[in-house]
Structure 1
Amino acid sequence: MPVAEHVRRHAAARPDMVAVRGPHGELTYGELAHDISGAARHLLGRGVRAGSLVAIGVADPVALLVAVLAADLAGATPLVGDHAWDRRRWARMTGTTTVDLLVDAPLPDEPGPAVEHVAAPGDLAWACFSSGSTGRPRAVVRTRASWTASFPHLGELAGMAPDDVVLVPGPLSSSLYAFAAVHALATGATAVVPGRWPAGSLPAHLDQATVVHLVPHLLPAVLARPGALRTVVAGGAALDPRGRAAAARAGVRIVSYYGATELSFVAADADGGGLRPFPGVEIEVRTAPGSALGEVWARSPWLAEGYLGEAAGPLRRDGDGWMTVGDVAHPYRAGEVLRLRGRGDGAIQTGGATVVPEDVEEVLRKVPGVGDIVVIGSPHPSLGSIVTAILEADGDAPPPRALLEAVARSGLDVAQRPRRWYAVPSLPRTQAGKPARALVAARMAAGDPDLRRLT
């Protein structure tokens, strides 16, 4: 059923319970149920119908959640993006996909009768952009069942209950944080959605929060003053064992998980014993002859339907219901721990975001004076990696760094923009003439003097 129906049930049982708290105020479950219904009536009045695609980019995270749940209640598919995108950026991100309505401001409360939508498990009830989307948009769409039927499993793993206060300290345009907020509301807990990392206000949030969803590089700041915190749910990157040990010393339990926007949950570690299949998930690691590593394939009820508009992306499937995004791991047998090694396609994990190098390269190759370019991840102590660009000049000298950064700002999201820039006389290439990414990374790690830092 739509998450709005969960909210209505909680409103009937505990109307004065705080449902969501944001930077500009809070709503009880009674108020949230009322606002969702009014917003759904407004959407229906704008011509939204079952199957419509409603793009949502609202600055206030509370208003964004109202719009998302209203669209779902109306039978539409909400597609969540960044509130900073203008209509041109939305058009580029959605490509050939037709958006029926763009919501870029809080929806009004339209009076009228209760909205009743006969929902089905197979309805397309959620869509969001995978990390690293640029000129080649990849909006991942999933059914209602794949989205909501996993809620009880996460709740059980994390030990969550309606009395919990759940801190969601990141933008809801991220599927990780959006799922966390919606899951909290379906549970009947209080979702705290500051909209971005709360920085100076973090201690005040932690004095109230009992559960927090985050990416691992944010864990030290949380553990420095855990307050009322009981459980950390960590996803988006590998968890350093030292982080789990620090949490144990602080009396905080960690539930970490591995997944992808396209695959949803694949494996979880609720006790420090290693990643094991999330409930309902089958895992295979398919290795090529003579290879020590293989690709991770998953089969489960939680898999996405695919990309809107049949956009290209790392997602692949076979004829038996298995899917992969190219992550690699050591060989795996049922009952064992899944030992991940990273992305097989060279994707960069930076601060919990996944950046696809080809997406960044596509934008930067258009800069005058860039002959070719390779983007890799350079190690970083807290972010995991940072995006690093190595370019081959088209002429005697590379373009100035100021021009490169200006193009990056105009065409790339924050996580995708290179933090370090280098120039090289010529890039190493494969036999097919393509830049050899692995060789570039090896030269960078070895401190090759031919790689000149652009300042």
Structure 2
Amino acid sequence: MVWNYANLWESVAAATPDRIAQIQGDRSITWKDFDRRANALAKAMVEAGLSKQSKVAAYLFNSPEYLETYFAAFKGGLVPFNTNYRYGGDELTYLFDNADAEAVVFHSSFAEMADKVRGRLPKVKIWIAVAEEGHPVPAWAKDYDSIVAGGADHFEAPWGRSGDDLLIMYTGGTTGMPKGVMWRQEDLFKALGGGANIQLGLAAMERVEEAGERAKMVDATGAPTNITIPVAPLMHATGQFISFGTMVAGGAVATMPGRKFDPVVLFNEVDRLGVSGLIIVGPAFAAPMLDTLDANPGRWTLPSLKRIVSSGAMWGLENKQGLLKHLPNVMLVDSLGSSEALGLASSSSGGGAAASTAKFVTGPNAAVFTEEGERVQPGSGVRGMVAVGGHTPIGYYKDEEKSAKTFRVYEGRRWSIPGDWATVEADGSITLLGRGSQVINTGGEKVFPEEVEEALKRFPGVRDAAVVGLPDPRFGERIGAIVDFVGENPPSLADLSTHVKGLLADYKAPRELVLAPVARAPNGKLDYKALKAQALAALSATA
């Protein structure tokens, strides 16, 4: 079987052409139109000169065009990859150059930034703009709507499709600069369960055609359409991959009508559409959701909502307990995984009771190993790294060194080990200790301290700088900076934040500042644990 997402989604479109596939506000796109629009887009990219496995950037907000762009890439035997729309010019140039991008599909509000970098990207053959109100399509780009409006019949490039066709998921990870995780489509599909549907009691698919058959079967029962809202950005693996599962099941993906997260709008959409699932990234979304429910008791009953899935950031126990008081019939799923390691472990809460934070049940292909490659035994108290085997990525794009560090062979088997440390309890569950590196996770966005430190040191008068993650009730962590400044007029937090935002993505700017000497070990390295304690003590003293 050719396990390619184009084949799977085409099967659904052929079986249930009039079912809704994509929703945003007042817009609804049927499976038939979703398929035809993607055909036209794939045809346009191939006619522009893209060839087998050429790279396609999705530089987009959450919208129907996001998954449509991926569908088109899959149809054309091309490789879609995500773009963090918060990136500044240098970061964007690095990403598109590293990915060897030949097509960029972007929302027109990004036109100014795209125009700044396109002169440095000679490999890009076509820029396609999705028009937005107040942001016309620039003269140097093709109009997305003009390409897809009429649709097109079935499209397949001369080189065909394969389960070996790639999808690349760029992640900031622990390296500072983004790295591209290369997933074979067959491996990704099977790592995500192979089309198994727990709610309907269906096992993994054995034939591509089963996608359409199962969607048609659900239609015949009169059951409501499975509608999922990726509240988290589709540019991250959490929102994107879970949305893929919804589409394989013949469901619909509804994207929020606005650009800013508003829990009131979210709950109104859940009620209006009969949404069954939400995808979030930990407390950055869950905390304001709970605050809104607390402030509006009884305003929403949300009877259709069955599950809220979170991944990418630790979900707090108090937050889970609070949500379950309002939503006792909803299952809260805390998934431990990363762009390069799916199915590490999970924790589910439901029936009004919340599971313990940081305690997870490992997936069927997961294990915990010491750095020497020894499997950690239950109840031993030994710390190890969580690993997952089975269907895993083939590595990082154009980076064999980093691939070798993450993808290792233990016990004669290949494992993906992204760097999460844990202990194994006597009952076989794991207690997550955190990432072994110093990466800061703020609202699901990963920030590498050294990158921000180097940016801070470019501010006039800054002699040294250290960046640490500080506890934050909403975002999990916030960026704290310790800055050693030489001069008469020390900078304010606003000064340094503005400076960093001019060089890096906004979320990498510090939100706390301590002006003090930066202590380093004799070898020149920073003691991040001590620096974090120093920052917390200094901030507490001035609170």
Which bracket does the TM-score occupy, shorter chain normalised?
0.7 to 0.9
Aligned to 2:397, which of 308, 325, 341? Answer: 308
Q: Is the 2:277–2:306 contact (alpha carbons within 8 Å) kept by the matching residues of 1?
A: yes
The residue that corresponds to 2:514 in the other structure is 422
1:182 pairs with 2:267: no
**Change beyond 3 A, Cα 1:287–1:87:** closer
Aligned to 1:328, which of 388, 401, 421? Answer: 421
- 169-178 or 28-37, which deviates more: 169-178
Q: Is the 1:275–1:339 contact (alpha carbons within 8 Å) kept by the matching residues of 2?
A: yes
- 3-12 or 155-164, which deviates more: 155-164
Aligned to 1:151, which of 178, 182, 192? Answer: 192
Measure, in 1, the Cα distance between the counterparts of 2:199 and 2:465. Answer: 43
Q: Is the 2:59–2:83 contact (alpha carbons within 8 Å) kept by the matching residues of 1?
A: yes
1:340 pairs with 2:432: yes
Q: Aligned letter for 2:233?
A: P
1:168 pairs with 2:230: yes
Q: Aligned letter for 2:254?
A: V
Measure, in 1, the Cα distance between the counterparts of 2:4 and 2:161. Answer: 7
The residue that corresponds to 1:191 in the other structure is 253
- The alpha-carbon deviation at position 400 of structure 1 amounts to 4.4
Measure, in 2, the Cα distance between the counterparts of 1:213 and 1:326. Answer: 23
1:438 pairs with 2:529: yes
Q: What stretches of structure 1 of length at least 5 have no aligned partner?
A: none
**Change beyond 3 A, Cα 1:96–1:185:** closer
- The alpha-carbon deviation at position 292 of structure 1 amounts to 6.0
Measure, in 1, the Cα distance between the counterparts of 2:175 and 2:466. Answer: 16
- The alpha-carbon deviation at position 406 of structure 1 amounts to 2.2
The residue that corresponds to 1:240 in the other structure is 316
| Rg (Cα) greater in structure | 2
Q: Is the 1:130–1:138 contact (alpha carbons within 8 Å) kept by the matching residues of 2?
A: yes
Measure, in 2, the Cα distance between the counterparts of 1:58 and 1:24. Answer: 19
Aligned partner of residue 430 in structure 1, secondary structure? coil
1:140 pairs with 2:207: no
Q: Is the 2:480–2:535 contact (alpha carbons within 8 Å) kept by the matching residues of 1?
A: no
Measure, in 2, the Cα distance between the counterparts of 1:35 and 1:311. Answer: 37
Q: Aligned letter for 1:197?
A: F
Q: Is the 1:158–1:270 contact (alpha carbons within 8 Å) kept by the matching residues of 2?
A: no
Size of the aligned set, in residue pairs, is 447
Q: Is the 1:387–1:418 contact (alpha carbons within 8 Å) kept by the matching residues of 2?
A: yes
Q: Is the 1:346–1:356 contact (alpha carbons within 8 Å) kept by the matching residues of 2?
A: yes
Aligned to 1:204, which of 240, 246, 268? Answer: 268
Superimposed CA distance per residue, residues 234-285 of structure 1 (whole angstroms, 9 cap, x where no aligned partner):
2122222334434443221112210112223311123548422224x22123
The residue that corresponds to 2:101 in the other structure is 99
Measure, in 2, the Cα distance between the counterparts of 1:215 and 1:50. Answer: 34
The residue that corresponds to 1:127 in the other structure is 168
Aligned to 1:114, which of 140, 154, 170? Answer: 154
Q: Is the 2:91–2:504 contact (alpha carbons within 8 Å) kept by the matching residues of 1?
A: no
- The alpha-carbon deviation at position 200 of structure 1 amounts to 3.6
Measure, in 1, the Cα distance between the counterparts of 2:232 and 2:390. Answer: 27
**Change beyond 3 A, Cα 1:247–1:388:** same
- The alpha-carbon deviation at position 212 of structure 1 amounts to 0.7
Aligned to 1:276, which of 353, 361, 377? Answer: 361
- The alpha-carbon deviation at position 293 of structure 1 amounts to 5.8
Superimposed CA distance per residue, residues 277-316 of structure 1 (whole angstroms, 9 cap, x where no aligned partner):
224x221231689x96634241323432332231876952
Measure, in 2, the Cα distance between the counterparts of 1:86 and 1:220. Answer: 28
**Change beyond 3 A, Cα 1:221–1:401:** closer
Q: Aligned letter for 2:499?
A: V
**Change beyond 3 A, Cα 1:182–1:442:** same
Matches within 5 A, 1:68-83: 68-83=70-85
Measure, in 1, the Cα distance between the counterparts of 2:401 and 2:26. Answer: 39
The residue that corresponds to 1:409 in the other structure is 501
Matches within 5 A, 1:57-72: 57-59=59-61, 61-72=63-74
**Change beyond 3 A, Cα 1:232–1:448:** closer
The residue that corresponds to 2:121 in the other structure is none
Measure, in 1, the Cα distance between the counterparts of 2:462 and 2:82. Answer: 34
- 357-366 or 195-204, which deviates more: 195-204
The RMSD of aligned alpha carbons is 3.2
- The alpha-carbon deviation at position 211 of structure 1 amounts to 0.8
Aligned to 1:351, which of 440, 443, 448? Answer: 443
Superimposed CA distance per residue, residues 413-450 of structure 1 (whole angstroms, 9 cap, x where no aligned partner):
233221112210x212123122221111122233479x
Q: Aligned letter for 2:473?
A: P
1:230 pairs with 2:306: yes
- 437-446 or 222-231, which deviates more: 222-231
**Change beyond 3 A, Cα 1:98–1:452:** farther
Measure, in 2, the Cα distance between the counterparts of 1:378 and 1:32. Answer: 44
The residue that corresponds to 1:383 in the other structure is 475
Q: Is the 1:170–1:196 contact (alpha carbons within 8 Å) kept by the matching residues of 2?
A: no
**Change beyond 3 A, Cα 1:370–1:447:** closer
- 142-151 or 317-326, which deviates more: 317-326
- 64-73 or 412-421, which deviates more: 412-421
Aligned partner of residue 100 in structure 1, secondary structure? strand
- The alpha-carbon deviation at position 24 of structure 1 amounts to 6.3
Q: Is the 2:443–2:477 contact (alpha carbons within 8 Å) kept by the matching residues of 1?
A: yes
Q: Is the 2:463–2:485 contact (alpha carbons within 8 Å) kept by the matching residues of 1?
A: yes
Q: What stretches of structure 2 of length at least 5 have no aligned partner?
A: 107-128, 131-143, 202-213, 216-224, 294-299, 350-354, 375-379
Measure, in 1, the Cα distance between the counterparts of 2:382 and 2:177. Answer: 29
Q: Aligned letter for 2:234?
A: L
The residue that corresponds to 2:465 in the other structure is 373
**Change beyond 3 A, Cα 1:53–1:230:** same
Measure, in 2, the Cα distance between the counterparts of 1:236 and 1:111. Answer: 36
Matches within 5 A, 1:276-295: 276-279=361-364, 281-286=365-370, 294-295=383-384
Aligned to 2:408, which of 303, 318, 343? Answer: 318
The residue that corresponds to 2:113 in the other structure is none
Q: Aligned letter for 2:244?
A: V
- The alpha-carbon deviation at position 190 of structure 1 amounts to 1.2
